[in-house]
């Protein structure tokens, strides 16, 4: 009797799911850092003017990984359908919440006296405060990111399936692009609205739309730039599964 670990579609789902969850978790925790895009690329700052707001292209570090997450969503959707994406999305959201709870408990632990000033020579006088500031994201940000993640992922899955049916399984690039445009819009604006508009920060709508537009534009640009990865993933997966098994999975996923 064969083990479940000898079943290639199951192994593939575990690998894709593990990569999907890991990317989403990492994106959540590095998202606390805001970086300047132009200097990072070795360019002069662009003083854009959007909705009356001026500034450089400042982005959350989480945008580095979210385009990959949404591409992973499309690949999983292609072979395992909306049910597969939905299951992984809820699992990931639960693990993200679990991660934040564990970090909160870690912050509450009484620090060792020697540890607090252990990095003073490097200019960090209080390691406890540094740990709390970096990992202790506000409740509104946590709630906003989780809601945006779930809504964005599930929307991506349904739009992807709809476009696939309309194109009769052809034009992978089209269904991947359309679903990403839709889901990235939700992900970019929902989290900002919950975290910074209705939350304690009380951003003006002009700032909300300006920051959201910059983040959305970057995510879409990167997602389109990474589209070839979907075709590469298809080639690798089809070769791993074999044409017959791959076609069977795709047919089941489209129902």
Distance separating alpha carbons of residues 68 and 116, to the nearest angstrom: 37
Residue with tokens 């003073």: 120
pLDDT of 176 strictly over 70: yes
Distance separating alpha carbons of residues 132 and 108, to the nearest angstrom: 9
What is the average per-residue pLDDT within 127-141? 76
Q: Are 79 and 20 in contact (CB under 8 A)?
A: no
Q: Catalogue the E-assigned strands of 13-95.
A: 34-36, 48-50, 53-55, 58-60
pLDDT at residue 139, as a whole number:
60
Region of 62 on the Ramachandran plot (φ > 0 left; ψ -120 to 50 alpha; else beta): alpha
Per-residue pLDDT of 26-63, as tens digits, reads: 887 787 777 877 888 888 877 777 777 676 777 778 77
Domain boundaries, the chain: 4-109+126-253
Residue with tokens 């292209």: 57
What is the average per-residue pLDDT within 156-163? 79
What phi, psi does 44 have (nearest 5°)? -75, 145
Angle at 63 between CA 62 and CA 69, to 5 degrees: 90
Q: Are 63 and 28 in contact (CB under 8 A)?
A: no
Per-residue pLDDT of 89-120, as tens digits, reads: 889 889 988 988 888 899 899 999 998 888 88
Distance separating alpha carbons of residues 249 and 233, to the nearest angstrom: 15
pLDDT at residue 91, as a whole number:
92
Per CATH, domain 4-109+126-253 is 1.10.1760: yes
What is the average per-residue pLDDT within 242-253? 88
Asked which of 5-14, 59-68, 195-204, 225-234 is least confident by mean pLDDT, the reply is 195-204
pLDDT at residue 13, as a whole number:
92
What is the average per-residue pLDDT within 78-85? 88
3-state secondary structure of 86: helix
pLDDT at residue 199, as a whole number:
66
What phi, psi does 59 have (nearest 5°)? -130, 155
pTM of the model: 0.80
User: Distance of alpha carbon 16 from its chain centroid, rounded?
Assistant: 14
Q: Is 248 buried (19+), middle (13-18) or exposed (0-12) by CB count in 10 A?
A: middle
pLDDT at residue 24, as a whole number:
84
Higher pLDDT, 57 or 127: 127
Joined tokens for residue 36 = 């300047």
pLDDT of 1 strictly over 60: no
Higher pLDDT, 91 or 74: 91
- Tell me 195's DSSP state: I
Residue 14 pLDDT grade (very low, low, confident, very high; cuts 50, 70, 90): very high
Q: Is 148 buried (19+), middle (13-18) or exposed (0-12) by CB count in 10 A?
A: buried
């Amino acid at each position: 009797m064969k083990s479940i670990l000898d079943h290639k579609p199951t192994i593939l789902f575990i690998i894709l799911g593990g990569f999907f969850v890991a990317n989403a978790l990492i994106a959540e925790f590095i998202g606390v850092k805001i970086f300047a895009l132009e200097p990072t690329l070795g360019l002069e700052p662009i003083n854009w003017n959007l909705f009356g707001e001026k500034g450089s292209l400042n982005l959350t570090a989480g945008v580095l990984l979210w385009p990959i997450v949404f591409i992973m969503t499309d690949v999983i959707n292609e072979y395992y359908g909306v049910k597969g994406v939905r299951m992984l999305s809820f699992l990931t959201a639960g693990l993200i919440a679990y991660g934040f709870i564990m970090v909160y408990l870690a912050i509450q632990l009484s620090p060792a006296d020697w540890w607090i000033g252990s990095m003073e020579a490097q200019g960090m006088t209080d390691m406890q405060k540094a740990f709390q500031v970096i990992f202790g994201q506000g409740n509104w940000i946590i709630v906003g990111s989780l809601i945006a993640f779930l809504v964005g992922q599930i929307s991506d899955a349904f739009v992807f399936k709809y476009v696939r049916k309309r194109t009769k399984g052809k034009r992978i690039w089209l269904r991947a692009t359309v679903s990403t445009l839709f889901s990235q819009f939700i992900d970019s604006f929902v989290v900002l609205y919950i975290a910074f508009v209705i939350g304690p920060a009380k951003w003006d709508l002009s700032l909300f739309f300006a920051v959201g537009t910059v983040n959305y534009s970057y995510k879409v640009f990167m997602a389109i730039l990474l589209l070839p990865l979907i075709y590469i993933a298809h080639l690798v997966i089809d070769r791993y599964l074999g044409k017959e098994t791959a076609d069977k999975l795709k047919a089941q996923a489209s129902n």
